[in-house]
Structure 1
Amino acid sequence: MIKLFVAGVVPGLLGAFLLMTVTYVLAVRYDLPRAESFDLGHVGRTFKEAFWALTMPVIILGGIFSGLVTATEGAGLAVMAALVIGLFIYRDLDVSRLRKTMLEGVSQTGVVMLLVSTSAALGLFLTQAQVPQTLAAQITDVTTNPLIVLALLNLLLLVLGMFLHGAAAIILVVPVVMPLVNAVGIDPIHFGIMVTLNLAIGQQTPPVASVLITSCSIARAGIWETSRTNLPFIAVLAFVLLLVTYVPEVSLALTHYLD
């Protein structure tokens, strides 16, 4: 598990840098307004003001990476921390605002859970129809060349990621294709990062796109308009996926220090 987390560091930083580059290029091209110039002193002041709010990512990620809590439990702890910070430290959260926030959260959660339940139903159908097993067997019949197998696995995971929620896709596909992955000599850690990147792209690509729809629900933005704007960012992630797929050391280099 630790190796899988470490393997995601370099691809994550690379993807973040390229996404920031795309953001900068689009901001310059469309002459997007800047609220204010960069000021290191202002960064320090705002950091002090936001210190307590910034503890929530520490609670979530620190709890998960340390193994003390699951992702769901970490999110629950973060909610409790947000209530304490908002009510007793910043004191800008009152009963009326809390009620409004909870109603908005329920509404947004309802949208996401509808997608998740639909995705789970589709996953159940695919499991009963043994679609992943059939596809894995067909891949083996076509070729055992690792490079071609990697390309076909990427295609399979990307398409499933567009229609299934991430957790459902992992449970449905990974156990089925792991014998194929091992048979052609693909490192399981390398394959794990491929799965993560494919599903990350798929979750932003309609028709299901649970991450995209969640973001649009929060921002109250149109899904298809947002999807068009999102194309350069998806292209960047696709480039990172291809780089990770065919240059395994991009993801595996740091894991060698854990041996």
Structure 2
Amino acid sequence: MTATLGYMFVGLFGMVLLNVPIAVALAVVAVAAIWITQGAAMLPNVPLVMFDGATNFPLLAIPLFIFAGGIMNSSSISRRLVNLASAMLGFIRGGLAMVTVGASMFFAEISGSAVAGVAALGTLLIPAMKSRGYSKEVAAAISSSSASLAIILPPSIPMILYAVMAQVSVVKMFISGLLPGLLGGAGLAITSYFYARKYNFPVEQRFSLSKLGTAFREAAWALMLPVIILGGIFGGFVTATEGAAVAVVAALFISTVIYREQTLRDLYKSLVDAALQTAVVMLLVASSALIGVFLTEARVPQALAGSILEYTTNPYMVLLLLNIFFLILGMFLHSAAAIILTVPIVLPLIQQVGIDPVHFGLVLTLNLAIGQQTPPVASVLIAACAIAKSDIWKTTKANLGYIAVLLLVLMICTYVPWLALAPTRWFYGDAAG
């Protein structure tokens, strides 16, 4: 069995290096392993396992939140949020970078996708920053790092995936990301201010109550979206999946009835984009279910837990080792693939050492948020560089200060679990999954 596992991982990473889609590579490796170890008679179970893995009800929230983000992209909702953030923060030196942080946090509260956030807001804010004297590398760096807050702020799509894989409450995962998300946003804004002082970035505009009032009136309906979505979910009126459906209906109503800016062509494009992104994620989920069943039957998670427990039983040392592992893994795998591939393997370990699965889920997603900024994969950073037309390695150098902020938030959340667990206790009286 050990030799088979070794061949599996060699084959998996070999196919990834050959640019085979990770979902296809996972499925091929799992089918080959089942055939070798259990015989061809088990192959008829393959489609049943994959179908069962991809039909988990909470996963329905993923295409709906993606669609809601697409509706925002194709209407003026994003622009109105940017204008409001600019009226609030534009009087501070480096305010345009802070506007990027604030707008990204607003957008994250609706779409749950970092890539969608940088695509929607980067096209507005990166050219604006470049025109105001920001280097294209700094403009791309702040857009990329602030967009990655979507991975921990509700309604984070990676958190939905983790909750399904770990069988914990999606809503509790959402709540756990609130304080760390706000802490990360504040840290990125402070770093932007120091960058602004260092590079003498300009003040955008004088503070004006009249401009702020105008921007607030124009964005009032857009601001209702996170209130409706998160208020409904946290208030217990809807589940996370139902909240995703509410997000779509609310975004459609605001963009078509209130702002009257959503055309049928825009709606069609949003539907197609949502379907394509969903297909990628769901194929990953189906493939992971297959490989997860094989690994469980081979008792790989138990073997991993046993080997680490022989070294240490201290939960904080275990978290340190897992942080190092996930930071490295995040450099090579997208967040969805990393969650799907590793959670079934490491979950028994964290349960044995007494780590709360909600706390661990936050630590994991923070690691993967950093992975979105570290090449060679760095999906969000690459998207920002494409918009800014900047070199990825020069942008990474400019991004080091912002990555340091995300690392600091990771360390705080790892070793101060109260930050993740206290909000769930306020809402529920406990933090258990």
TM-score of the superposed pair, with normalisation by structure 1? 0.75
Q: Is the 8 A contact 2:304 2:346 kept in 1?
A: no
User: Residue 143 of structure 1 corresponds to which residue in structure 2?
Assistant: 312
Alignment-mate amino acid for residue 205 of structure 1? T
Q: Is the 8 A contact 2:191 2:401 kept in 1?
A: yes
| Pair 1:183-2:352 in alignment | yes
1:179-204 deviations in whole A, cap 9, x for unaligned? 21122222222212111211111122
Between the aligned partners of 2:371 and 2:334, the Cα distance in structure 1 is: 9
Q: Is the 8 A contact 1:150 1:245 kept in 2?
A: yes
Alignment-mate amino acid for residue 240 of structure 1? V
Change (3 A) 1:10 1:104: closer
Choose the corresponding residue for 2:417, options 224, 248, 253: 248
Q: How does 1:188-207 map to 2 (within 5 A)?
A: 188-207=357-376
Choose the corresponding residue for 1:45, options 197, 208, 214: 214
Stretches of structure 2 lacking an aligned partner (at least 5 in a row): 1-168
What is the DSSP-based 3-state SS (H/G/I as helix, E as strand, rest coil) of the residue aligned with 2:222?
A: coil
Q: Is the 8 A contact 1:56 1:82 kept in 2?
A: yes
How many pairs are equivalent?
A: 253
Q: How does 1:167-246 map to 2 (within 5 A)?
A: 167-217=336-386, 219-222=387-390, 224=392, 225-246=394-415
Choose the corresponding residue for 2:181, options 3, 8, 12: 12
User: 1:64 offset after TM fit, Å?
Assistant: 5.4
User: 1:41 offset after TM fit, Å?
Assistant: 3.1
Q: Is the 8 A contact 1:116 1:165 kept in 2?
A: no
Change (3 A) 1:81 1:214: farther
What is the DSSP-based 3-state SS (H/G/I as helix, E as strand, rest coil) of the residue aligned with 1:144?
A: coil
Between the aligned partners of 1:46 and 1:234, the Cα distance in structure 2 is: 31
In terms of mean alpha carbon deviation, does 188-197 or 101-110 score higher?
Answer: 101-110
Q: Please give the root-mean-square deviation of Cα atoms over the aligned residues, in Å.
A: 3.8
Q: How does 1:8-157 map to 2 (within 5 A)?
A: 8-62=177-231, 65=234, 68=238, 85-91=254-260, 133=301, 136=305, 138-157=307-326
Q: Is the 8 A contact 1:205 1:227 kept in 2?
A: yes
Q: Is the 8 A contact 2:281 2:336 kept in 1?
A: no
Q: Is the 8 A contact 2:288 2:341 kept in 1?
A: yes
Q: Is the 8 A contact 1:108 1:214 kept in 2?
A: no
User: Residue 130 of structure 2 corresponds to which residue in structure 1?
Assistant: none
Q: Is the 8 A contact 1:162 1:207 kept in 2?
A: yes
User: 1:93 offset after TM fit, Å?
Assistant: 5.9
Change (3 A) 1:4 1:119: closer
Change (3 A) 1:252 1:124: closer
Change (3 A) 1:123 1:209: farther
Stretches of structure 1 lacking an aligned partner (at least 5 in a row): none
Q: Is the 8 A contact 2:284 2:340 kept in 1?
A: no
